[in-house]
Amino acid sequence: MHEFKDKLMRKAEEMLESGFPPKMAKIEEFLNKNNIMNDVQFIYKSDDGAYASGFLKCNAQIVELINEVKPIVRGLIEDANLLKVWIKLQIPKIDGGSDFGISIQAEALSEIRSIESDACSMNDRFARYFSARANIVIKIMDFPEVEDFKHELEELDKKELIGLWLMMSEARNHYCLLHDIISKNIEKLKKPRRSSLAKKMFH
């Protein structure tokens, strides 16, 4: 157990020391390369031949972008979880039935939990998009004469492109916030003082 804890602590501290900058740089590169907020209106191309054939492929550009975004989002989930455990492992020992805690640790944990939760919601978005798109495609196949379904598919793809750009912006902001919280309070997080906060704040 001690070996596992030591390994986890080393991994977290290595990430704190050198892991954040390359992750943020990768996200910034994605945002600069994919200026979706300006280009979204030019991306979608309807294919009446595909509609007539009864076969519609996925939007290849969106799939490619999702494959870039997904590892970033899942990495954010893993990093937030690692930092959460790292802080918890440094909570002072509870003696004599008293509850001890640290306000700065509680605040940091609260922020990290919020980031982890938001990243999990981002991860759920991928499946929701494909499910929603499949439902529209089925309607197009069943009622090819209804133009509104084709427009609905187009709007869904545009919405997803914007959503992916915003998702990466949020991921960048979350990494920035994590770095800020930890770097400003590193000594207090690693060597906390005792206080009388309730133990439940750390669960």
Tokens linked to 107:
């605040």
Domain boundaries, the chain: 2-202
| Per-residue pLDDT at 18 | 85
**79: Cβ–Cβ under 8 A, 6 or more apart, which residues?**
15, 19, 23, 175, 178
Across 96-100, 115-119, 184-188, which has the greatest mean pLDDT? 115-119
Full-prediction pTM beyond 0.85?
Answer: no
The HSE-up count of residue 56 (CA atoms within 13 Å, CB side) is: 23
Which residues does 5 contact at the CB level (< 8 Å), separation at least 6?
A: 89
Q: Is the pLDDT of residue 51 over 60?
A: no
Q: Which of 176-181's residues contact partners 24+ apart within 8 Å by CB, and which partners?
A: 176/24, 177/111, 177/115, 178/20, 178/79, 178/80, 178/83, 178/111, 178/112, 178/115, 179/20, 179/24, 181/108, 181/111, 181/112
**Lowest mean pLDDT, pick from 11-20, 80-89, 107-116:** 11-20
Rounded mean pLDDT, 63-85: 95
Residue-averaged pLDDT of the chain? 83
pLDDT band at 113 (very low <50, low <70, confident <90, very high): very high
169-202 confidence digits (pLDDT tens): 999 999 999 999 998 888 888 777 654 444 444 4
Q: Which two tokens stand for residue 166?
A: 């915003």
When pLDDT is cut at 50, 70 and 90, the band that residue 6 belongs to is confident
pLDDT the model gives residue 197: 45
% of the chain at pLDDT higher than 70: 79
Judged against a pLDDT cut of 90, whether residue 58 lies above it is answered with: no
d(CA 43, CA 40): 5
2-11, 88-97, 182-191: the lowest-pLDDT one = 88-97
CATH 3.40.50.720 given to domain 2-202: no
Across 42-51, 122-131, 151-160, least confident range:
42-51
Check if the beta carbon of residue 44 is closer than 8 Å to that of residue 158.
yes
In angstroms, the CA 203 to CA 197 distance is 12
